[in-house]
Amino acid sequence: MEHEVQRVRQAFLSGRSRPLRFRLQQLEALRRMVQEREKDILAAIGSDLCKSEFNAYSQEVIAVLGEIDFMLENLPEWITAKPVKKNLLTMLDEAYLQPQPLGVVLIIGAWNYPFVLTIQPLIGAIAAGNAVIIKPSELSENTATILAKLLPQYLDQDLYIVINGGVEETTELLKQRFDHILYTGNTTVGKIVMEAAAKHLTPVTLELGGKSPCYIDKDCDLDIVCRRITWGKYMNCGQTCIAPDYILCEASLQNQIVQKIKETVKEFYGENVKESPDYERIINHRHFKRILSLLEGQKIAFGGETDEATRYIAPTVLTDVDPKTKVMQEEIFGPVLPIVPVKNVDEAINFINEREKPLALYVFSHNHKLIKRMIDETSSGGVTGNDVIMHFMLNSFPFGGVGSSGMGAYHGKHTFDTFSHQRPCLLKSLKREGANKLRYPPNSQSKVYWGKFFLLKRFNKEKLGLLLLTFLGIVAAVLVKAEYY
Amino acid sequence: MKDGTDPFEDTLRRLREAFHSGCTRPAAFRAEQLQALGRFLQENKQLLHDALAQDLHKSAFDSDISELIICQNEINLALKNLQAWMKDTPASTNLFTKLDSAFVRKEPFGLVLIIAPWNYPINLTLVPLVGALAAGNCVVLKPSEISQGTEKILAEVLPRYLDQSCFAVVLGGPEETGQLLKHKFDYIFFTGSPRVGKIVMTAAAKHLTPVTLELGGKNPCYVDDNCDPQIVANRVAWFRYFNAGQTCVAPDYLLCSPEMQERLLPALQSAITRFYGDDPQSSPNLGRIINQKQFQRLRALLGCGRVAIGGQSDECDRYIAPTVLVDVQEMEPVMQEEIFGPILPIMNVQGMDEAIEFINRREKPLALYAFSNSSQVVNQMLERTSSGSFGGNDGFIYMTLPSLPLGGVGHSGTGRYHGKFTFDTFSHHRACLLCPAGLEELNNIRYPPYSHSMQELVRWALGSHSCTLL
């Protein structure tokens, strides 16, 4: 393990990954990989999650292609130095922020969207000029295997490597030193990753999870609301970090909600959901059993059918759920939707705030003021109002959590920034040493005055011409010198 | 602590409750706190000058330019821009979200902890505080117990100015700080050494608390053969010996050719005499070492290499003369730890490439300096190394620019602040998308079942155009 990481570090130190041309080339190669080997990639994702080709394409591959194109288009601009506002003291100097790669970054992927959650961060890491070690989730075996097979065929084999393995290998890997770690997964392992990173003072981006609440107001079109929620909840069989985890609404709405979700499920997946090509399966038996245990003692309004052999769990809705029961204690990550009745929006807000900050928050209402209030009085990674999931789709948005749902963010330019060091630079010349007399000891009262003048005022080009300023500087230096010598 | 009660429990609970009440959110409250902070600085100027003189033998001028004025600037900047900083930032939408309202909200994290060091005890405590307050957080401040004079003022006088239901100062040494760190905070801002930085980050990991760590390292200063030695000596000496070298961004050691060293030594002596006189110990402009422990540590470093300039010390006064060491070996202690004192070792290299190689073999520093008449040399140094920040042909004068953030990379730290960057550091950037409640027909394309023709349509629509539509 140490040997592998060393090899990648040596490759980074060679400087190969830094020129713009190289980064663009690698991104283009990645794009070719996705296009040429699409069938293999879709098949791998498909067999891991029982996902149709179309779903794998529309949920994962499209996002990857979009991200690559976005990078290719904007990277030339992003890697340039950005000048910053100067003050009187530095007006004749160059002051800017220069983005630089961090070095060797580690990306630990997740199993629920095994392709995009590994490749999207990779795209930004390459764009920022780093070397990358990718550790796909071992639970999505086929995707892990295909990534290990395909990436070396298209990308630089020393700069970007795939390391596969389970808990033991990952623990070994985390002992090594990296310049940034991006981890997608659960809270428990997130803490382990950060603790390991702390030993090397490695910065981390943690994309974790939580229970994303979904508040449905009385004042809304329940037909539309339930369609949108059904789509977001049952996609990928509920195994989405930003799926609406549970519903909060007034008790009187419960029955209607159940009815409409039931109808929508039928519309989306047919009479026999098990036979729909668009409905996925639970990733493995351990999670299957875990989700099953959440149903114990609950009022199943509809759904609840399971088949262990195929790891099938039907789209399920629970009503009158007691907040103290198991299903409300952990992130569900499955096709089970509890409805917790609340008296009103006040109670909903208190309910949400009593719990850990979630990755996403959803609120459905025609009342804009109510939506605003929900947002104002709660906290979460992100918010979508009157829909679910969609804030994930905008790559101009930073995507990340807060509190136990995570730290840091990525997508689009935010990935580039995450994997870069924006280095502040101030370049002066060795001339005009006279002006520095102001700051050198021994000090005098007039120096204090002029020091304050230059430090307290902001340089505003419109107000003072360059000439006047230079004149002032010379006058100040002369005055001080005259007084002193 | 021995009787098992947690001294911080009540304070933290109180502050958390205050945060939940929402009192720190309105702009008016935040502005009021910032104004009060400004009054604290103005009304207690003499007290602060005295405390800084007591702790670090800082002259009033040095206290003003390196601590008080900087804090005042930050307060003014925050007050002037608070509304703009707090505003939601619109985000650009794509084809599928054109009809939506997309913006990023800046929200306070909640209860934040600021752990401050002793070397610039006002600056490095209050500048983070300005950002934390501006961002709407409740703040726990843990000033350094080593700068005792300023600790006293921060503990006794500062709270009188701020709303004490939302702000608290806690005191103590390493043991108390360890206990404090067992609690959950929503953000931790730490300035100090890498060793303690690791302890802070490990403690933060248990609660998944995000951190900013402003650490340190050995800041290299490369002096090219092509330059005016006196000008370079002036600039390097001033930044090295300011605050008796106890500055995280001070040039730690010099890299230059033996020929350049010959020219620099008399120039450095000349600069030192000019700044501090023939008897630097009697100059009011030279600081003192903070305490005995640091003094003893630094005195031991005087034994490394050969003393070319200075080398005197006075234990009673905690005085160490502005010193330059030559013939230093890389493995000696003075080249192994961050010096943090008025000692400047010179290492010889044969040109820029060797200097870059030397620098890149070591941990990434907080600052890096390069002096040369040739802008090519300066740019090469910049491009081929990494560091928190970079100064060409001068020392850390960039600290006066709030538009340039201060922060490390690698062992010198993570995160950054100053000006708006502090506000952003202490804010959670929350992505918000408000979709239309109606227009459901537009969404039909995303719902199953996906007929074959629908699949083809989607593939065509998304595949043939640039995927940046997404």
Tell me which amino acid residue B364 is.
Answer: K
Radius of gyration of chain B from Cα atoms?
26
pLDDT band at residue A29 using 50, 70 and 90 as cut-offs: very high
| Residue of B42, B401, B426, B455 best to disrupt the A interface, most CBs of A under 10 A | B401
The Cα B317–Cα B281 span in angstroms is 9
**Chain centroid, CA A292 distance in Å:** 29
User: Range with the lowest mean pLDDT among A10-24, A442-456, B80-94?
Assistant: A442-456
pLDDT of residue B398: 85
The Cα B203–Cα B197 span in angstroms is 10
Asked if A402's CB is within 8 angstroms of B400's CB, the reply is: no
pLDDT band at residue A468 using 50, 70 and 90 as cut-offs: low
Q: Where are the beta strands (DSSP E) in A70-130?
A: 82-83, 94-101, 104-108
Residue B83 CB-density burial (10 A; 0-12 exposed, 13-18 middle, 19+ buried)? exposed
Select from B397, B435, B468 the Cβ nearest to the Cβ of A385: B435
Chain B residue with the nearest C-alpha to that of A35: B463
Select from B73, B94, B186 the Cβ nearest to the Cβ of A394: B94
- Whether the per-residue pLDDT at B268 is higher than 60: the answer is yes
Task: Identify whether the C-beta of residue B342 lies closer than 8 Å to the C-beta of residue B321.
Answer: yes
Asked if B234's CB is within 8 angstroms of A440's CB, the reply is: yes
The average pLDDT across A111-130 equals: 98
Q: Which residue has the tokens 């910049």?
A: B382
How close A322 gets to chain B, by Cα (Å)? 25
- The 10 Å CB-count burial string (b at 16+, else e) for B369-380 is bbbbbeeebbeb
| Residue of B372, B434, B452 best to disrupt the A interface, most CBs of A under 10 A | B434
pLDDT band at residue A485 using 50, 70 and 90 as cut-offs: very low
- Whether the per-residue pLDDT at A42 is higher than 60: the answer is yes
Asked if B430's CB is within 8 angstroms of A402's CB, the reply is: yes
State the maximum Cα–Cα separation within chain A, in Å, rounded to a whole number: 97
**Active centre residues of A (catalytic):** 207, 241
The average pLDDT across B41-54 equals: 97
Residues whose CB falls within 8 Å of the CB of residue B385, separated by 6 or more in sequence, listed in order: B356, B359, B360, B368
**Chain centroid, CA A391 distance in Å:** 11
Q: How many residues make up chain A in this entry? A: 485
- Whether the per-residue pLDDT at A478 is higher than 90: the answer is no
pLDDT of residue A72: 97
Contact with chain A for residue B2, Cβ under 8 A: no
User: Cα separations (Å) of B324 from B253, B305, B309?
Assistant: 9, 10, 5
- What is residue B394's DSSP assignment? S
Select from B109, B414, B469 the Cβ nearest to the Cβ of A201: B414
The average pLDDT across A124-133 equals: 98
Select from A97, A227, A390 the Cβ nearest to the Cβ of B435: A390
pLDDT of residue A90: 84
The per-residue DSSP string of B100-125 comes to SEEEEEEEE-SEEEEE--SSSTTHHH
CA angle B239, B404, A182 (to 5 degrees): 115
Task: Identify whether the C-beta of residue B102 lies closer than 8 Å to the C-beta of residue B432.
Answer: yes
The average pLDDT across B291-296 equals: 97
pLDDT tens figures, A53-80: 999 999 999 999 999 999 999 999 999 9
The average pLDDT across A132-139 equals: 98
- Whether the per-residue pLDDT at B458 is higher than 80: the answer is no
| Range among A439-443, B94-98, B115-119 with highest mean pLDDT value | B115-119
| Residue of A200, A414, A443, A445 best to disrupt the B interface, most CBs of B under 10 A | A443
The residue with greater pLDDT, B372 or A434, is B372
Asked if B431's CB is within 8 angstroms of A399's CB, the reply is: yes
The residue with greater pLDDT, B193 or A462, is B193
- Whether the per-residue pLDDT at B469 is higher than 60: the answer is no
Beta bridge partners of B220: B253
pTM: 0.94
- The 10 Å CB-count burial string (b at 16+, else e) for A319-350 is bebeeeeebbeebbbbbbbbbbbbeebeebbe
pLDDT of residue B382: 96
pLDDT of residue A87: 84
The residue with greater pLDDT, A469 or B270, is B270
Asked if B414's CB is within 8 angstroms of A203's CB, the reply is: yes
Asked if B404's CB is within 8 angstroms of A95's CB, the reply is: yes
pLDDT band at residue B470 using 50, 70 and 90 as cut-offs: very low
The Cα B76–Cα B73 span in angstroms is 5
The Cα B227–Cα B375 span in angstroms is 11
How close A485 gets to chain B, by Cα (Å)? 12
- Whether the per-residue pLDDT at A467 is higher than 70: the answer is no
The average pLDDT across A193-217 equals: 98
pLDDT of residue B222: 98
pLDDT tens figures, A235-286: 999 999 999 999 999 999 999 999 999 999 999 999 999 999 999 999 999 9
Residues whose CB falls within 8 Å of the CB of residue B248, separated by 6 or more in sequence, listed in order: B119, B191, B214, B215, B216, B366, B367
Task: Identify whether the C-beta of residue B333 lies closer than 8 Å to the C-beta of residue B301.
Answer: yes
pLDDT band at residue B463 using 50, 70 and 90 as cut-offs: low
The average pLDDT across B247-271 equals: 97
The Cα A456–Cα A465 span in angstroms is 18
- What is residue B167's DSSP assignment? E
- Local structure of A358: helix, strand or coil: coil
pLDDT of residue B453: 77
- Whether the per-residue pLDDT at B271 is higher than 90: the answer is yes
Task: Show residues of chain B in contact with A428, CB under 8 Å.
Answer: 391-394, 397
- Whether the per-residue pLDDT at A200 is higher than 60: the answer is yes
pLDDT band at residue B439 using 50, 70 and 90 as cut-offs: confident
Select from A54, A95, A353 the Cβ nearest to the Cβ of B450: A54
Contact with chain B for residue A435, Cβ under 8 A: no
pLDDT of residue A446: 62
pLDDT band at residue B465 using 50, 70 and 90 as cut-offs: very low
Give the ipTM of the model, two decimals please. 0.95
pLDDT tens figures, B130-166: 999 999 999 999 999 999 999 999 999 999 999 999 9
Residues whose CB falls within 8 Å of the CB of residue B49, separated by 6 or more in sequence, listed in order: B58, B60, B63
User: Range with the lowest mean pLDDT among A181-190, A460-469, B215-224?
Assistant: A460-469
The packing angle between helices A20-36 and A62-78, to 10°, is: 170
Question: Which of 194-213 (A) contact B at CB < 8 A?
Answer: 194-195, 197-199, 201, 203, 206, 208
- Whether the per-residue pLDDT at B466 is higher than 80: the answer is no
Question: Which of 9-48 (A) contact B at CB < 8 A?
Answer: 13
How close B3 gets to chain A, by Cα (Å)? 30
Task: Show residues of chain A in contact with B391, CB under 8 Å.
Answer: 425-428
pLDDT band at residue A444 using 50, 70 and 90 as cut-offs: low
Task: Identify whether the C-beta of residue A402 lies closer than 8 Å to the C-beta of residue B426.
Answer: no
Task: Identify whether the C-beta of residue A98 lies closer than 8 Å to the C-beta of residue B382.
Answer: yes
Beta bridge partners of B391: A426, B369
| Residue of B25, B92, B435 best to disrupt the A interface, most CBs of A under 10 A | B435
- Whether the per-residue pLDDT at B217 is higher than 80: the answer is yes
- Local structure of A330: helix, strand or coil: coil
The average pLDDT across B329-341 equals: 96
What is the overall mean pLDDT for chain B?
94
Task: Identify whether the C-beta of residue B445 lies closer than 8 Å to the C-beta of residue B456.
Answer: no
